[in-house]
Structure 1
Amino acid sequence: MQHRTLGKTGFSISEISLGTWQVGGRWGEPFSHENADAILNAAVDGGINFIDTADVYGDGESEKAVGRLVRNRSERIYVATKCGRQLQPHTNEAYQTKALRQFVENSLRNMQLEALDLIQLHCPPTDVYYRPEIFELFDRLKEEGKILNMGVSVERVEEGLKALNFPNVTTIQLIFNMFRQRPTELLFAEAKRNDVGLIVRVPLASGLLTGKFTPQTTFAPDDHRQFNRHGEAFDKGETFSGVDYETGLAAVEELKQLFPDQPNLAPIALRWVLMFDEVSCVIPGASKPEQLASNLQAAELPALTEEQMQAVRAVYDQKIRPQVHQIW
């Protein structure tokens, strides 16, 4: 496992890390602490030292599982969590410093930790990025020893660029994958210039880029890949990266032809993300240990060639760009 520095946090983290939305989110399976413990411990055994969670994953149960992992392992494990999505309605007006402070306190209690390595605003409405008092709160929390760093999780490039105006923003979490390439045009360079770490989520486009789905694949009613395809519950871009399912399947078939020797496209898709040195880490999820093993294979793959990178870009330009490029 290779390590990269997470921006101005100074943390040396595994370039392949773990996101826990699938462990405790809307993926059609009830939360299981036994399954969570198996996945989390397998991740650390595989060399992962950075875990991303959120207070809304499993209504706090994911945070509890992550905290238990940290307390029971001897390795230094960096923990990132997120706050804000509990607000109902999830509006700019609902973002108040008192509420956010309480969310941080609750996360500390859930994980039974003295301080959070990284707390991230969880995809707040765009207007929140124009409110300095929200960001100043996290300076106070750092002074109180409750957090070490703050960052943001964003939906859109413009939000990431705006977040860079706040000096205490140490990381930006964003969607970036073969189907979501716009961040390379400006955000990557600006984040590097400001020494802000980039945490890449949804690297497999909700599983589309595994190459395992077909037109006949079905998803459980409470799986967001079934109920949120058109943004019915939250930002459409979180589900299949905002790409129409059938279009995504067609693009995946072309990607498979570029890598005929790879029976599983997922490690290639993760390796593609890691070809960009501005990326600090990629956080694919796993709903079972076998998926984690697939993700870790990316660490063993050689770098993609320039010809392969150009070919992936061509598939994006022809099939995907018209649908999503200017939206996010």
Structure 2
Amino acid sequence: MHYRELGRSGVEVSEVGFGAWVVGTNWWGDRTEEEAIGMVETALDHGITYLDTGDVYGHGDSERIIGKAIDGRRDEVTLATKIGYDFYENPQAGHGELPKELDREYLETAFERSLDRLGTDYVDLLQLHNANVSEVNGEVRDLLREWKADGRVRALGWALGPSIGWLAEGDAAVEYEEFDAVQTVFNLFEQEPGRHFIDTIRETGSDTSVIARVPHSSGLLNEQVTPDTVLEEGDHRAHRPQEWYETGWEKVEAIRFLEQPDHAEGTRTLSQASIAWLLSHDEVASVTPTFRTAADIAEWSAASDVPRLSADEYDRLEELYATNFGIDRDDGMDVLRTSVDGEDIEAAGLDKRAASY
């Protein structure tokens, strides 16, 4: 496992992180608390030190489980959480989005409760969870700086979602000097707005790092969703339209060349290559796949050390992406949604789903 710094914060993260949403909900399969703790311990044993959770995952359950898993091992981990959703006063409606709350009093209370569940007096990275750009005003930024100054937070981030988009929010995270990281959906098949943020970081000389989530494009790039897969009720991946998977399976065949079963420098699976492609961007500090099993952890954590993509492989991927991997039909996804109804995505020319190939 290799490690990178978040911006210039001094906070070090493993190149492959552990997305702890999986241990706090049943959206990615049911598991006992003991099994969930075991998954975290297995990740640590494989060199994964970056643990990324959020207070809303399982309405505090993910943080509580992570707190138990790292009890006695706090100094070994880079601990990240997120706040901004008011789940205390609002019941979860399936996979629907909860109301957000970013006033000072609520954030102070939410952060203290997170620290209590995690069993720590500080977090290495605190992220605003899906906050709209208009909600992150001067008062919010002042509060975040206060927490950083008093040592309860070592680095600050802005986690984007839940849909792909949120260009204005990511741009703000790059622009505002207090943010060390921006987290976004980013993978070979869903490259915007991640590519845009990387370009902006390079053009402006910003120190902001990118944390890439959904690196396997909801089961396509790790081939856990194939034409023979039947997604069970409640499986989060079932929220993708069927057309998404049908076009995605064709894209997977177009990038088979990334597999290296007999590479002179070591083997490389498609799942690992998908992570290695993300890590080929210096601005990407960590990639957080959705682990389901110990086998997933063993394979994907090793992606930090597999043969990097060659210049020819990278260029070939660029050509494929520019032509939608040779596919000339719609993938069933809605136009990219952002806090300003997609206008910023369209204005930047990044709405690939609205294009004609």
Band of TM-score, shorter chain: 0.7 to 0.9
Correspondences of 1:218-229 after superposition (within 5 Å):
218-226=230-238, 228-229=239-240
Q: Does 1:135 align with 2:141?
A: yes
* 1:157 corresponds to: 167
Q: Does 1:119 align with 2:123?
A: no
Larger RCO, structures 1/2 (Cα 8 Å, 6+ apart): 1
Q: How many residue pairs were aligned?
A: 314
CA distance in 2, matches of 1:140, 1:28: 36
As a proportion of its length, which structure holds more helix? 1
Aligned partner of residue 60 in structure 2, secondary structure: helix
* 2:94 corresponds to: none
Shift of residue 78 of structure 1? 0.8
Deviation readout 1:160-179 (Å, 9 max, x if unpaired)? 11123322111111111101
Answer yes or no: is the 8 Å Cα contact 2:49–2:78 preserved in 1.
Answer: yes
CA distance in 1, matches of 2:230, 2:185: 24
CA distance in 2, matches of 1:81, 1:75: 16
Q: Does 1:66 align with 2:66?
A: yes
Q: Does 1:271 align with 2:276?
A: yes
Distance 1:85 1:32, change over 3 A: farther
User: Is the radius of gyration larger for structure 1 or structure 2?
Assistant: 2
CA-atom RMSD in angstroms: 2.6
CA distance in 1, matches of 2:224, 2:29: 19
* 1:234 corresponds to: none
CA distance in 2, matches of 1:13, 1:124: 23
Shift of residue 3 of structure 1? 1.4
Shift of residue 183 of structure 1? 4.0
Answer yes or no: is the 8 Å Cα contact 1:191–1:198 preserved in 2.
Answer: no
Partner residue of 2:301 out of 292, 296, 315: 296
Shift of residue 12 of structure 1? 2.3
Correspondences of 1:125-274 after superposition (within 5 Å):
125-129=132-136, 131-155=137-161, 156-183=166-193, 185-191=195-201, 193-226=205-238, 228-229=239-240, 244-259=244-259, 261=261, 264-274=269-279
Shift of residue 124 of structure 1? 1.8
Shift of residue 256 of structure 1? 1.9
Distance 1:58 1:109, change over 3 A: same
* 1:19 corresponds to: 19
Answer yes or no: is the 8 Å Cα contact 1:122–1:154 preserved in 2.
Answer: yes
Aligned partner of residue 120 in structure 1, secondary structure: strand
CA distance in 1, matches of 2:13, 2:184: 17
Larger mean CA deviation between 163-172 and 35-44 belongs to: 163-172
Which amino acid in structure 2 is aligned with residue 252 of structure 1? V
Distance 1:65 1:270, change over 3 A: same
* 1:316 corresponds to: 321
Distance 1:117 1:309, change over 3 A: same
* 1:305 corresponds to: 310
Distance 1:283 1:138, change over 3 A: same
- Report the identity percentage: 29
* 1:98 corresponds to: 105
Distance 1:278 1:128, change over 3 A: same
Q: If the length of structure 2 is used for normalisation, what is the TM-score?
A: 0.79
Q: If the length of structure 1 is used for normalisation, what is the TM-score?
A: 0.86
Answer yes or no: is the 8 Å Cα contact 1:23–1:285 preserved in 2.
Answer: no
Aligned partner of residue 117 in structure 1, secondary structure: strand
Aligned partner of residue 190 in structure 1, secondary structure: helix
CA distance in 1, matches of 2:71, 2:121: 11
CA distance in 2, matches of 1:260, 1:213: 21
Distance 1:286 1:108, change over 3 A: same
Larger mean CA deviation between 23-32 and 33-42 belongs to: 23-32
Distance 1:285 1:184, change over 3 A: closer
CA distance in 2, matches of 1:140, 1:260: 48
Shift of residue 113 of structure 1? 0.4
Shift of residue 268 of structure 1? 0.9
Aligned partner of residue 302 in structure 1, secondary structure: coil
CA distance in 2, matches of 1:258, 1:143: 45
* 1:236 corresponds to: none
Structure 1 portions without partners, runs of 5+: 231-239
Shift of residue 185 of structure 1? 4.4
Aligned partner of residue 314 in structure 1, secondary structure: helix
Shift of residue 8 of structure 1? 2.3
Aligned partner of residue 13 in structure 2, secondary structure: strand
Answer yes or no: is the 8 Å Cα contact 1:55–1:107 preserved in 2.
Answer: yes
Shift of residue 313 of structure 1? 2.4
